[in-house]
């Protein structure tokens, strides 16, 4: 859930508000997500496109999203879809790092 919160925070920071409309008071400088997914990805692009300020914030926020291909907790395809949604929404400094053969937990 940590990566989901981090990615949700990234979108809230770009939009300048939480999903419930309350202002987002924190100015993030970087976001890192490990083996996660993006909540609220549907419609994100449209929400960012209608605001020049949101588009500017999204375009300048660096995001590192990493995911193992053998993740049995959060499937790899969810990480891929999240990266794709962020990218088309305008997050230009997005890096999606794939780890072949790695699951959700790397320590037994």
Beta strand segments in 2-107, E? 31-34, 63-68, 94-99
pLDDT, position 72: 93
Binning pLDDT at 50, 70 and 90, where does residue 105 land?
Answer: confident
Q: Is the pLDDT of residue 42 over 70?
A: yes
- The CATH number of domain 1-99 is 1.10.3720.10: no
- pLDDT > 70: what percent of the chain? 97
The structural domains of the chain, with segments of one domain joined by +, span: 1-99
**What average pLDDT does this structure show over 28-41?**
94
pLDDT, position 107: 59
pLDDT, position 106: 66
pLDDT, position 84: 96
Q: Is the pLDDT of residue 36 over 60?
A: yes
pLDDT, position 1: 82
| Structure tokens that stand for 6 in this block | 């981090």
Q: Is the pLDDT of residue 59 over 80?
A: yes
| Residue whose C-alpha is closest to residue 73's, from 25, 105, 40, 28 | 105
Binning pLDDT at 50, 70 and 90, where does residue 93 land?
Answer: very high
């Amino acid at each position: 859930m940590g990566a989901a919160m981090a990615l949700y925070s990234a979108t809230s920071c770009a939009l300048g508000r939480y999903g419930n409309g309350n202002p987002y008071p924190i100015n993030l400088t970087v976001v890192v997500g490990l083996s996660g997914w993006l909540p609220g990805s549907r419609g994100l692009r449209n929400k960012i496109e209608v605001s020049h300020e949101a588009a500017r914030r999204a375009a300048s926020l660096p995001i590192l999203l990493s995911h193992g291909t053998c993740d049995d907790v959060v499937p790899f395809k969810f990480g891929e879809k999240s990266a794709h949604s962020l990218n088309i929404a305008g997050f230009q400094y997005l890096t999606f790092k794939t780890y072949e053969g790695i699951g959700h937990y790397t320590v037994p």
